[in-house]
Structure 1
Amino acid sequence: MPCTFVRLAGCPLRCTYCDTPQAIPTDSGEWMRIADVVDEVRRRARPLVLVTGGEPLAQRNCAQLLSELLTMGSLVQLETSGAYPLADLPAGVRKIVDLKAPGSGEVLRNRLDLLADLSAGDEIKIVLTDRADYEWARGMIEKYQLGLGDVPVLLSSAWGSLGADQLCQWLLEDRLPARLQLQLHKVIWGEGASGV
């Protein structure tokens, strides 16, 4: 689905596979008023808006931005690390919580209590670097019965660390209730492409 990415700068996490290190500093990017961000998203007129980062919930006005984006009538998603509370988000925002596997270097930042805040339309994403991460993810899926209800689990291979073909094979062998997610922008435009 055509999507407008709204990438917020600043992230306190340091995932080993971060593919957007330029968004880590809070002073990276361009300062914009919320109204200007919404106008730019409206101008693009796409049916999906994804607010991502950095870590968008590290920004104090993220909930206000999400509220304003919802008024446009587009589907609004928020991709977050799972290290920040979700309770204050406006109704209607679809949450993508990125659980951190051990290979990320940030597994201790996971707030598993957030899983209870997810509902139909939300997603759980886990980026994997190797077989040990896959085993961890499989254990989480089994322990918390993830992917069996209205909240799908998306497993993604860290670009350059784990082949999508290998991850696909493991998923098929284990029949996990999870979907394979690819970084389509890298598949379509190449590893170094940005702003696409």
Structure 2
Amino acid sequence: MILTVNEIFYSIQGESVYAGLPCVFVRLTGCNLRCHYCDTRYAFDEGNAMSVAQIVDQVATFGCRLVEITGGEPLFQDHTPALVDALLGSGYQLLMETNGSLDIDRVDRRCSRIMDIKCPSSGAHMKNDDANLQRLTVHDQVKFVIGDRDDFLFATELLPRLAAILPADRILFSAVSDRLPPDQLAAWMLDGRIEARLQLQLHRLIWPDQERGV
């Protein structure tokens, strides 16, 4: 089975509840959305064909048990579930970041799905698959990328539904870089008594001038 891979690299987890831990990233090519704030546009089309076995072999060279499949949008490719199965079968702790517009249950639930719920400023919020809320498990995570007050209110309106599924520390609020200062988002969360985790892009703080491989 062949996938198109944009890059495979070893770095620090910059987001999610695993932030700060070493992690191997498998960035797959292609995405079905075009969010206004996207910082990985290079992954829309650039990539090389690799078999599932080749990907697993390259991941193994880093000697790290935490692996994240990202993109682009991983579920945009038909053989991503096979890659998930192969990595789980090799004993990795596996994460997958997904934009929330496609069925997350296409992949094994032992993989922690880090699911975006697109807010209005993304320009893609009408593409959210509402059925994915019923597919979430306590093993998963949800992320809101917030660019303004309207996005914040959009996210908080969904919190009661998410709180019935996920603990507060697996619901992530992240500010759009260069659009919303994180201290403003923090103030809104504190003022609103929001039960969620404020998330900063740790890798962007460590390597502010690098776009790839971090």
Q: TM-score, normalised by structure 1?
A: 0.93
- What is the 5 A alignment of 1:1-196? 1-25=21-45, 28-142=46-160, 144=161, 146-147=162-163, 149-151=165-167, 152-196=170-214
Maintained 8 Å contact 1:42/1:72: no
In the alignment, the residues of structure 2 paired with residue 46 and residue 163 of structure 1 have an alpha-carbon distance, to the nearest angstrom, of 33
Q: Percent identity?
A: 40
Q: How far apart are the structure 2 equivalents of 1:134 and 1:31?
A: 39
Match of 1:79, SS?
A: strand
Task: Look up the SS of the partner of 1:37 in the other structure.
Answer: helix
Contact 2:81/2:107 (<8 A) preserved: yes
How far apart are 1:30 and its partner, in Å? 2.0
Which deviates more from structure 2 when the two are superposed, residues 72-81 or residues 85-94? 85-94
Conservation of the 8 A alpha-carbon contact between 1:55 and 1:81: yes
Cα-to-partner distance string for 1:129-177 (whole Å, 9 max, x where unaligned): 11111111111214x2x24543521010111111111111111111111
Report the CA distance shift for 1:148/1:166 in structure 2 as closer, same or farther (over 3 A).
Answer: farther
Aligned partner of residue 137 in structure 1, secondary structure: helix
Residues 35-64 of structure 1: per-residue CA shift (max 9 Å, x gap): 111111111121311101101001000000
Instruction: State the Cα distance separating 1:115 from its structure 2 match.
Output: 0.8
Counterparts in 2 of 1:135 and 1:91: CA distance versus 1, 3 Å: closer
Contact 1:147 1:178 in 2 (8 A): no
Q: Alignment RMSD, CA only?
A: 1.3
Shift in Å at residue 91 of structure 1? 3.6
1:34 deviates by 1.1
Q: Which amino acid is 1:53 matched to? A: G
Provide the C-alpha distance between the structure 1 equivalents of 2:23 and 2:164, rounded to a whole number of angstroms.
27
Residues 68 and 6 of structure 1: CA distance in aligned 2, closer, same or farther (over 3 Å):
same
The answer for unaligned runs of 5 or more in structure 2 is 1-20
TM-score, normalised by the number of residues in structure 2: 0.85
- Measure the CA separation in 2 of the matches of 1:19 and 1:65: 24
Worse-matched range after superposition: 52-61 or 133-142: 133-142
Structure richer in strand, relative to its length: 2
Alpha-carbon distance between aligned partners in 1 of 2:39 and 2:67, rounded to the nearest angstrom: 20
**Aligned residues of 1:48 and 1:74 also touching (Cα < 8 A):** yes
